Copies of this chain bind each other. A is one copy, B any other.
Amino acid sequence: MSKRALVVLSGGQDSTTCLYWAIDRFGRDNVEAVTYDYGQRHRIELECARQVAEQAGIRQTELPIDTFAALGGNSLTDSEIDVAAGLGGSLPNTFVPGRNLIFLTFAAAYAWPRGIADIVTGVAQTDYSGYPDCRQETIDSLVTTLQLGMERKFTIHTPLMTLSKKETVLLAEKLGALDAMALTHTCYEGQRPPCGECAACLLRAKGFSEAGIEDPLHSL
């Protein structure tokens, strides 16, 4: 039996690149995606994820998580709070404590009864904006925790972990994922076409610029 993989797909540039990485590595028929509706204020992300999965020909399951919005206090789920970068070493207010831990634990819970042992996530410690749950060390520890807690061997693949945004763009090109980039959402302000001015837009633009590739998002 072929190994099967589950991609945590947000509808952004990174997770979309990971989806194509997984297709390349495991074969299209062995890949599926999970997308979380966690009350993100930019609902367009969910639509982007659906379109990316459809274009890729991948089965996608949307799972609700209503807990983060109930916890409150961050700018990703609370539209009353403006997005603000972390100052002086503090975490940005887009940081939702435990978000990636929860995403990956639920991915494992989804994978468990389906016999899927390979999970793919787009977290990256390069350009990681200071999110501690994106570091390889955290992911490694989580794998141990999941294996102990679910009595199942899991591998969490992080193909973008050490890549710069430029390298991620070059990887997307190599994997034939550039067309899909036109469907992805990055802008922190939730605008489409993107605002071009927020930290996420600037980081994306820098990556494409350094890779010498035009962002297909802008040629729509």
A residues near B, CB below 8 A? 63-68, 70-71, 73, 91, 96-98, 100-102, 105-106, 108-110, 112-113, 132-133, 135, 137-138, 141-142, 144-146, 148-151
From B63, B108, B138, A145 is in contact (CB under 8 Å) with B138
Please give, as numbers and ranges, the residues of chain B lying within 8 Å of A133 by CB-CB distance.
148-150
Residue contact B113 to A73, C-beta cutoff 8 Å:
yes
**Copies of the protein in its oligomer:** 2
In chain B, what residue has the closest Cβ to A72?
B113
Residue contact B64 to A101, C-beta cutoff 8 Å:
no
Residue contact B71 to A67, C-beta cutoff 8 Å:
no
In chain B, what residue has the closest Cβ to A62?
B70
**Secondary structure type dominating chain A contacts:** helix
In chain B, what residue has the closest Cβ to A131?
B149
From B73, B102, B113, A97 is in contact (CB under 8 Å) with B113
- A22→B151 CA distance, assembly (Å): 30
Residue contact B70 to A150, C-beta cutoff 8 Å:
no
Known: A97-B113, A100-B149, A132-B151. 13 other contacts (CB 8 A): A63-B70, A64-B66, A65-B67, A71-B109, A91-B151, A96-B109, A98-B106, A98-B146, A98-B150, A101-B149, A132-B148, A132-B149, A132-B150
Most chain-B Cβ atoms within 10 A of its Cβ — which of A100, A108, A110, A141?
A141
Task: Name 26 interchain pairs, CB-CB below 8 A, sorted by A.
Answer: A63-B70, A63-B71, A64-B66, A64-B67, A64-B70, A65-B65, A66-B66, A67-B67, A67-B106, A71-B106, A71-B109, A96-B109, A97-B108, A97-B109, A97-B112, A98-B109, A101-B149, A102-B102, A102-B106, A102-B109, A132-B149, A137-B148, A141-B145, A142-B145, A144-B145, A145-B145
